[in-house]
Structure 1
Amino acid sequence: MTLSFTLFDTAIGRCAIAWSGRCVVCLQLPEDNNAKTRARVLQRYSAAREAVPPRQIARALDTVAALLRGTPSDLSSIPLDMEGLPPFHRRVYEAARAIPFGAAVTYGELARRSGVPGAARAVGQALARNPFAIIVPCHRVLAAGGKTGGFSASGGAATKLRLLAIEGYKMGLAKSLEKSQRENRAPSLFDSRASADL
């Protein structure tokens, strides 16, 4: 399997995308500088070589860059190479891909959507190993109680909050989100007003 990668400009810095054939293998968020971003990709995929992306991969990186500028973008059609990933991780990643731009769910809710209610901690561990940052939007998954939760990319939770802000998500709504998920209903206008008053 031939692995290739390239760095590309986004509103949050230079990201990297790695691919094999027509499928994305990895999307790396920016590190402190280009050399560190490149090194991070090569740490994961030592045989990867820098190359000009084929048309389908170029479209994928253009769509990711648009999302990172705040343009609502659907990344669910970007083909991912999930071979070699544990089946549980695949289920979690597929469920996470269904979370729309500007929305968020809790780890517990994502566990339920993945078919394993009560496995919030295992979902968090799977997301911490997510090789497809942004395409599998792990930044849209929050801890219970309106807390941010972890984020394994450079910058940690601050990066997660920045990504959510780019998408227009308001963290104050997390408590009403969690409550509405417990009650199995959509949040109402009154929920968001109440959470803003907290």
Structure 2
Amino acid sequence: MTDAGMQPECPAGFAVFETVIGPCSIAWGERGIVGVQLPERDEALTRARMQASFPALAEALPPPSVRAAIDATTAMLAGAPLDLLEIVLDEEGVPEFHRRVYAIARRIRPGQTRTYGEVAEELGGKGLARAVGQALGRNPFAPIVPCHRVLAADGRPGGFSAPGGALAKMRMLHNEGARPTGTASLFDAF
């Protein structure tokens, strides 16, 4: 994260931070994290997307609680077995069904996966699998809400709306040590 053009620590803002998968960004308010973004192609695009998503927020130095969230997220993306449950999310404006889906996804341990159908069953029935996928596709907190750990029934990645698509999802799972189909990862050679 660069300091150029940043405001001092403040109760609301956003920051761009480097991870093993590229530059991510995080936005916060007085009640917690309001958004997290997986990498775009470069830092400038990541910053521009965050500014478009949260036009009322300025880039700022994160307060200690947000700095801790950044550090934990960076470590988890690098393969540390962290669940990030201690990070407070501000879910105001998030539909109730989505909140329920995100709560289930947050309980999936690093290196583990579940299917859209399994999440749907926990919510009341396999018929909700498509709605689960739609909620995860609108996840404003990835990877703190680890939607990358939810797969299609046959272990395929299924959809992934973040930049990089299914390949990004599989790379994050690889970094966590997950082997959803029981076979070696495409990334083992790297």
Q: Same fold (TM over 0.5)?
A: yes
Residue 65 of structure 1 and its aligned partner are, at CA, apart by 0.5
- For structure 1, which segment, 124-133 or 39-48, has the greater mean C-alpha deviation from structure 2 after superposition? 39-48
User: Once superposed, what is the RMSD of the aligned Cα atoms?
Assistant: 1.4
Aligned position for 1:58: 67
Does 2:92 correspond to 1:83? Answer: yes
Q: How does 1:156-167 map to 2 (within 5 A)?
A: 156-167=165-176
Distance 1:149 1:92 in 2: 16
Partner of residue 49 from structure 2, selected from 37, 40, 43: 40
Give the corresponding residue for 2:130: 121
- Aligned partners of 1:113, 1:135: CA distance in 2, in Å? 20
For residue 143 of structure 1, what is the aligned residue in structure 2?
152
Q: Distance in 2 between matches of 1:150 and 1:55?
A: 34
User: Which protein has the bigger helix share?
Assistant: 1
Q: Which runs of 5+ in 1 are unaligned?
A: 175-198
Whole-Å Cα distance in 1 between the matches of residues 69 and 158 of structure 2? 27
Could you tell me which amino acid in structure 2 is paired with residue 146 of structure 1?
G
Structure 2 match to 1:71: 80
CA displacement 1:55-77 (0-9 Å, x = unmatched): 01100110000011111112011
Q: Which residue of 2 aligns with 1:98?
A: 107
C-alpha distance in structure 2 between counterparts of 1:136 and 1:45, whole Å: 19
Q: Distance in 1 between matches of 2:32 and 2:16?
A: 16
Q: Identity across aligned pairs (percent)?
A: 54
Normalised TM-score (structure 1): 0.84
Name the structure 2 match of 1:179.
none
Gaps of 5+ in 2: 1-10, 184-190
Match of 1:180 in 2: none
Residue 29 of structure 2 aligns to which amino acid in structure 1? S
CA distance in 2, matches of 1:22, 1:60: 14
Q: How many residues align?
A: 173
TM-score by structure 2 length?
0.87
> What SS class does the counterpart of residue 42 from structure 1 fall into?
helix
1:186 maps to which residue? none
Once the two structures are superposed, what CA deviation does each residue of 1:27-73 show, in whole Å capped at 9, x if it has no partner?
11110111110111122111110000000110011000001111111
Inter-partner Cα distance in structure 2 for 1:22 and 1:110? 27
Q: In the aligned structure 2, how far is the partner of 1:116 from the partner of 1:130?
A: 21
Shift of 1:22: 4.8
4+ long deviations beyond 3 Å: none
Which AA in structure 1 matches 2:90?
D
CA distance, structure 2, for counterparts of residue 115 and residue 52 of structure 1: 42
Rg bigger for which structure? Answer: 1
